[in-house]
Amino acid sequence: MKFGTKAIHAGVHPDPSSGAVMTPIFQTSTYVQDAPGKHKGFEYARTQNPTRNVLQENLAALENGKHGICFGSGLAALDAILKLLSPGDEVISTNDLYGGSYRLMTKVFGKYGIKFHYVGMNDTKELTTLINENTKMIWIETPTNPMLNIIDIKAVVKQAKRKDILVCVDNTFASPYLQTPLDLGADIVLHSATKYLGGHSDVVHGAVIVKDDKLAEQLYFIQNAVGAVPGPQDCFLVLRGIKTLHLRVQRACENAREIANFLRRHKKVSKVYYPGFASHPNHKVAKAQMRDFGGMVSFDLKANTKASANQILRRTELFALAESLGGVESLIGHPASMTHASIPKKDRLKVGLTDSLIRLSVGIEDVGDLKKDLSEALK
């Protein structure tokens, strides 16, 4: 089954009680039992919900995995993954990552004896100096947030498997339409389904997908034990969004390509970060492991000040100044003061995240209107 067909049909069946084509929202907290322990597969809605089950099956199919596990947010999903670890374990993470992930790792799990190393992974040889007997997990974002660095998933997996280390990939920026890390050897894929999977900026949701049965059993246990689960309406909204995922992401990719080229030619822009450029670090890797280069573009200004960035951020009309990404509408943001403010400035600057860096989530509007909006703001 090809991707576009899977997005619409995988795991989704007409409701047997009514024939409804769309999966119903099972808005219930509990289920009647014929006798203690004798039920129809559902006991309590924290543990199972029919709407959530359909979404989990759909997500597993999209990532070419076996098990999908849903959570109340992307960070709740990351929290569950990190709970696979024990005090004394070590994690190697890319040094360019979402600020919320960094905050959860450093400020929350760091207190429980788990050590995190942050390193650039453009060259995966950097990992060899950090891997030791305590290394239990390697955390990858690719493309990274917000510098859009590309990490060679196969190359990381090759190093990790020598030591039986889990490889986890945050696939939020790419979406399963562009990239399927499990096919490249990764053990765990995470999504902030709030973004491209939901696609309409109207739901907060997270998901984890795996192939391994034992790993899935551990994550299902954490999902139920901790209870950071999404409600059935949230699951319905993500299911609804996924049906057009391939159409939305392809249009966003096409628009982003034009926007990136427009910005690269602009006299007030010093640098554009976009994996589709042949000059972008690891462009060849992106070409090999992705279907297209995504809908995200970051750029820096020649003026190189926060004030100059703020002038542009205040002046766009179609690009809405807001956090998040991956919706049908275009968004513009300032990572240093918004999504990545929790990362110390010295660490932001190490990866090139300056005070004048602007991040775009390019939507599916008419690209001519989007270019005109940016042109007016840059004047």
Asked whether residue 74 falls in the same domain as residue 223, the answer is yes
* pLDDT-based confidence at residue 22 (cuts at 50, 70, 90): very high
Residue 361: domain span:
246-378
Residues 52, 98, 152, 257: which is the catalytic one?
A: 98
Confidence at residue 324, expressed as pLDDT on a 0 to 100 scale: 96
Note the pTM of the prediction, 2 decimals. 0.96
Asked whether residue 70 falls in the same domain as residue 189, the answer is yes
Contact of 140 with 115, CB cutoff 8 Å: no
* Integer Cα distance of 178 and 328 in angstroms: 17
Q: Fill in the DSSP letter of residue 150.
A: -
Residues 15, 46, 271, 287: which is the catalytic one?
A: 46
Is the pLDDT confidence value at 241 over 90? yes
Q: What letter represents residue 265's amino acid?
A: R
Contact of 170 with 139, CB cutoff 8 Å: yes
Domain boundary among 207, 223, 242: 242
Confidence at residue 126, expressed as pLDDT on a 0 to 100 scale: 85
Domain boundary among 242, 272, 288: 242
* pLDDT-based confidence at residue 37 (cuts at 50, 70, 90): confident
Question: For position 92, which CATH number holds?
Answer: 3.40.640.10
Helix spans in the chain (H) = 3-9, 50-62, 74-82, 99-103, 153-161, 175-178, 213-226, 232-242, 245-264, 283-289, 306-315, 345-350, 367-378
User: Is 345 an active-site residue?
Assistant: no
Residue-wise pLDDT tens digits, 134-182:
999 999 999 999 999 999 999 999 999 999 999 999 999 999 999 999 9
Confidence at residue 40, expressed as pLDDT on a 0 to 100 scale: 85
* pLDDT-based confidence at residue 38 (cuts at 50, 70, 90): confident
Domain count for the chain:
2
Residues 195, 211, 291, 359: which is the catalytic one?
A: 195
Asked whether residue 43 falls in the same domain as residue 175, the answer is yes
* Residue 67, strand partner residues: 210
* Integer Cα distance of 341 and 213 in angstroms: 37
Question: For position 264, which CATH number holds?
Answer: 3.90.1150.10
Asked whether residue 38 falls in the same domain as residue 141, the answer is yes
Confidence at residue 83, expressed as pLDDT on a 0 to 100 scale: 98
Distances (CA, A) of 72 to 56, 171, 172, 228, 244: 13, 17, 15, 5, 22
Cis status of the peptide bond prior to 146, with omega within 30 of 0 = yes
Asked whether residue 284 falls in the same domain as residue 228, the answer is no
Is the pLDDT confidence value at 267 over 90? yes
Token pair 């392809």 in the structure block, residue: 250
Asked whether residue 31 falls in the same domain as residue 62, the answer is yes
Closest to 118 in 3D by CA, of 346, 287, 275, 368: 346
Distant-in-sequence, close-in-space partners of 360: CB < 8 Å, separation ≥ 6? 256, 259, 296, 297, 298, 299, 319, 330, 331, 332, 333
How much is the mean pLDDT over the chain?
Answer: 97
User: Is 170 an active-site residue?
Assistant: yes
User: Is 98 an active-site residue?
Assistant: yes
Asked whether residue 234 falls in the same domain as residue 269, the answer is no
Asked whether residue 275 falls in the same domain as residue 129, the answer is no
Asked whether residue 67 falls in the same domain as residue 183, the answer is yes
Asked whether residue 138 falls in the same domain as residue 26, the answer is yes
Asked whether residue 291 falls in the same domain as residue 147, the answer is no
Asked whether residue 282 falls in the same domain as residue 270, the answer is yes
* Residue 119, strand partner residues: 94
Residue 318 three-state SS: coil
Give 294: exposed, middle or buried? Use CB within 10 Å, 0-12, 13-18, 19+: buried
**Residue 184: count of CB within 10 angstroms of its CB:** 17
Confidence at residue 372, expressed as pLDDT on a 0 to 100 scale: 98
* Integer Cα distance of 249 and 251 in angstroms: 5
Residues 89, 96, 170, 234: which is the catalytic one?
A: 170
User: Is 118 an active-site residue?
Assistant: no
Distant-in-sequence, close-in-space partners of 60: CB < 8 Å, separation ≥ 6? 11, 66, 67, 68, 209
